[in-house]
Amino acid sequence: MSIDGTYDQENIFAKILRAEMPCVKVYEDANTLAFMDVFPQSRGHMLVIHKHEQARNLLDVSVDGLGQIMASVQKLTRAANQALSPDGIIVTQFNGAPAGQTVYHVHVHIIPKYEGDLKLHASGGMADMDALNTLADLIKAAL
């Protein structure tokens, strides 16, 4: 998909927000939702989305909405650092298929990284849901 287009109400994140699809929730406030990535690049990989903005990517989201997302990203990055003690943390956001975007609802990845872990975006298999719940609980406890 292109960087430009119309918002699809049937994207997986819209379905998660409508409780039509499950997620392993880590954090939620009035404007944002954070959950474990089911195709993680590393242990503790989370996604942060806006609950109300119907934005496909960074180009579509309002300045206020982006600020709300980033405030949650910072809070969750701090919690992941405290809970998981990674060697580094990648915070990234993709816009359009050529850039790596696969879900067209604005979102930010928080990816704890560990020495020797070279897994790339969308290169791994689906995670074990029990393992994701355990990681989510560790991060929630650090919030």
pLDDT of residue 124: 67
Helix ranges, the chain (H)? 12-17, 63-84, 129-142
Rg of the chain, C-alpha, whole Å:
14
Give me the pLDDT at residue 121, please: 60
Beta strands in the chain (DSSP E): 25-28, 32-36, 46-50, 88-92, 107-113
The pLDDT of residue 118 is above 80: no
pTM of the predicted model, to two decimals? 0.88
Domain 12-142: give its CATH superfamily. HIT-like (3.30.428.10)
- Active-site annotation, residues: 107
User: How many whole angstroms separate alpha carbon 83 and alpha carbon 88?
Assistant: 13
pLDDT digits (tens, 9 = 90+) for 22-78: 999 999 999 999 999 999 999 999 999 999 999 999 999 999 999 999 999 999 999
What is the predicted pLDDT for the residue at 117?
79
